[in-house]
Amino acid sequence: MLEIKNLHATVDGKEILRGVDLTIGDGEVHAIMGPNGSGKSTLSYVIAGRDGYAVTEGSITFNGKNLLEMEADERAGEGLFLAFQYPVEIPGVSTMNFLKTSLNAVRKYRGESELDAMDFLKFVRAQTKALGITEDMLKRAVNVGFSGGEKKRNEVLQMAVLRPTLAVLDETDSGLDVDALRIVGEGVTSLRGPDRSMLVITHYQRLLDYIVPDVVHVLAQGRIVRSGDKSLALELEEKGYAEFTSAAA
């Protein structure tokens, strides 16, 4: 599914990623944990194709294709999805319209027919129920005036609508209370499947109670310094990241 080899990336000339190696197989859920400033968000942006990040070395291969040659929208078309840590507000654009435009853009890219308004409405309604997203929310402008929980639920809704093969969840638990965390966690888990892999980026272990990972990695100083099973997350929760930050320095 995803193969990252010796990835080096800089922001404003400063090297943030210093040789990341990561392989995610079909249907696998990997978690990346690490201290602040370790390069977690940079890794998610480089995978998603955000401007301003320069890859100086290494490669990312996604389902056999060179991801780094593609624009962000093409990556989405290929089946990649990034759930934002801070979802962006877009005034004047209704959530419904945004979802429909997005879905149809992706369908068009994949050579599928576009959905008309009626079919789309039916399709979306089926997804919103479990996430506790109301019709009213769909009519409001994208993320404008949404609470922290609503914004993250909206991210999960987009993921449900776009049906990616690889979802990267960037600090999806940040800013959520316990109830919202549960709804979001269960929402994501319900989307797990043999053809859908996930990369869950998080600082804390608590999200992994809901989205149970197959593999846990520790990212520190721009490199993956340790990998293990889900028990590694619990260990980190207990001991913190001190050993990695001091060892790497």
Partner 1 sequence: MTMALSETSQVFLDRYAELRGRLAGADLPWLAKIREDAANTFRVTGVPTPRMEDWKYTNLKALDALELVFAARPAEVRADMLPAKLGDGPRLVFVDGRFRADLSDSLEIGEGIRLASLADLLSADPGFIEPRLADFGDNATGAPMLALNGAFQEDGYVIALDANADAGAAIEILFWDTAGEAAAVRQPRNLIVAAANSRAEIIERHMGAGSSRQFFNGATLITLDAGAAIGHYRVQSQGAGSVHVNTIRTRIEADARYESFILAEGGEVARDEVQVGLMAAGAYARLDGIYLADGAQVLDSTTTTRHAAPNTTCQETYKGALDGTARAVFQGAIRVEPGADGTDAQMSNKTLLLSDDAEIDTKPQLEIYADEVKCAHGATTGELDAEAMFYLRSRGIPEVEARGILVEGFLDEVTEAMDDTPFAHLVRGHVAAWVGRGVKEKEMKG
Decide: 142 and 94 in contact? Cβ < 8 Å: yes
Residue 145: name the closest of 220, 202, 94 by CA: 94
Decide: 127 and 157 in contact? Cβ < 8 Å: yes
Instruction: Find the helix or strand (DSSP H, E) in which 17 lies.
Output: strand 14-24
Pick from 20, 48, 184, 220: which binds partner 1 (CB under 8 A)?
48
Instruction: Find the helix or strand (DSSP H, E) in which 105 lies.
Output: helix 95-109
Contact between 90 and partner 1 by CB under 8 A: the answer reads yes
Site for partner 1 in 154-183 (CB under 8 A): 158, 162
Least distance from C-beta 159 to partner 1, angstroms? 10
- Binding region for partner 1 (CB under 8 A) out of 100-108, 112-120, 186-194, 236-244: 100-108
Decide: 80 and 50 in contact? Cβ < 8 Å: no
Contact between 93 and partner 1 by CB under 8 A: the answer reads yes
Contact between 50 and partner 1 by CB under 8 A: the answer reads yes
Contact between 195 and partner 1 by CB under 8 A: the answer reads no
- Binding region for partner 1 (CB under 8 A) out of 83-91, 188-196, 227-235, 240-248: 83-91
Q: Which residue has the tokens 């996430």?
A: 131
Least distance from C-beta 107 to partner 1, angstroms? 9
- Binding region for partner 1 (CB under 8 A) out of 11-19, 33-41, 72-80, 121-129: 72-80
**Strand, coil or helix: 18:** strand
* Total number of residues that touch partner 1 (CB under 8 A): 30
Q: Per residue, what are the HEC states of 197-229?
A: EEEEEECCCHHHHCCCCCEEEEEECCEEEEEEC
Contact between 71 and partner 1 by CB under 8 A: the answer reads yes
Radius of gyration of the chain (CA): 18
Contact between 135 and partner 1 by CB under 8 A: the answer reads no
Contact between 88 and partner 1 by CB under 8 A: the answer reads yes
Cα pseudo-dihedral 26, 29, 30, 34, rounded to 10? 150
Pick from 64, 92, 111, 194: which binds partner 1 (CB under 8 A)?
92
Residues of the shown chain interacting with partner 1 in the complex, contacts defined by CB under 8 A: 48-51, 71-73, 75-77, 81-82, 84, 87-93, 98, 101-103, 105-106, 109, 141, 158, 162
